[in-house]
Amino acid sequence: MTQASILVARAIFPEVLEMLSQHFQVESNQSDEVLSAEVLKQKMHGKVGALTTGSERIDAALLQANPQLKIVANMAVGFNNFDVPAMTAAGVLATNTPDVLTETTADFGFGLLMATARRMTESEHYLRKGLWTKWSYDMFAGAEVHGSTLGILGMGRIGQGIAKRAAHGFGMRVIYHNRSRLSTDLETACKATYVGKEELLRTADHVMLVVPYSAESHHTIGAKELSCMKPSATLVNIARGGIVDDAALALALKNKQIAAAGLDVFEGEPALHSALLNVPNVVLTPHIASSTIQTRMAMAKLAADNLIEFLSKGKALTPLNQVTGK
């Protein structure tokens, strides 16, 4: 019996490729070349499934050119690279990898908050340049983390994980804004209080963004929102590029409108707004919030399991849409 063919669009763990090869004919990309839209469309020919990352756009044009496609499994919790309505209309299942990265990403988010508030990157650059010649009472004096107010925009699994770290570990007052309010039990577990978005921006000492990307959440934080924040406040984005207007943020940082920012995601990444490279009061990381070996392995295995389960049994583990069988 001929095995079904799938595409693995980017380099992944060899163990996961071996796991997939036991079920499918696998075309892999271990050279890790980022495929153009046209090349991706061509490589999808004859494939019934694909394992993708956030860099591969699955849209109507690709789907129209590949009517045999049945499932695309994203190795990420975010899926703004998927046109889910177009996939549903084409009868193609979309899956992601929630839960397995929650705690790792929450760890990183809180770490990025601390690095931002305490000016760790800025002071390291100073040290590396050989500029440290004496102690001074206010050298790289940053903002308090413990006992301060953390405002979280987006209170899903990761937001809740950050809230628990803040409230239980650092005695922070946690306020949050979300599309829907959490249950009383979850609010109690997180020691979090629901507030309006404007109140959050006005009162938080640190603002953490954990909002999923959509057309509605594009530029959730822009010039207007930045003007509402305290001059001493910090902003941390571990959500998605496009949630923040990076040009407006760079200007706000330059003008000391807010104290500092920590960014793991960017508009148009891997490119980023050049002005962000010219302000000292920002911590920049290349979208690595979920990047530990154990977590990335778990993400890859879950994406692979979604392909195996759906193509062999007709039911994926973490579907994003509902489709009828092809």
Q: Rounded to an integer, what distance in angstroms lies between the CA atom of residue 70 and that of residue 269?
A: 28
Catalytic residue status for 269: yes
Q: Rounded to an integer, what distance in angstroms lies between the CA atom of residue 44 and that of residue 40?
A: 6
Which residue of the set 218, 269, 273, 309 is catalytic? 269
Q: State yes or no: cis peptide before 319, omega within 30 of 0.
A: no
Which residue of the set 157, 219, 287, 309 is catalytic? 287
Instruction: Output the DSSP codes for 33-89.
Output: PPPPHHHHHHHTTT-SEEEE-TTS-B-HHHHHH-TT--EEEESSS--TTB-HHHHHH
Q: Which residues contact 259 (CB under 8 A, 6 or more apart)?
A: 142, 143, 231, 232, 233, 234, 281
Q: Rounded to an integer, what distance in angstroms lies between the CA atom of residue 225 and that of residue 8?
A: 40
Catalytic residue status for 287: yes
Q: Is the dihedral of CA 61, 67, 70, 75 positive or negative?
A: negative
Catalytic residue status for 296: no
Which residue of the set 240, 267, 296, 309 is catalytic? 240
Q: Rounded to an integer, what distance in angstroms lies between the CA atom of residue 317 and that of residue 240?
A: 24
Query: What residues are labeled active site?
Result: 240, 269, 287
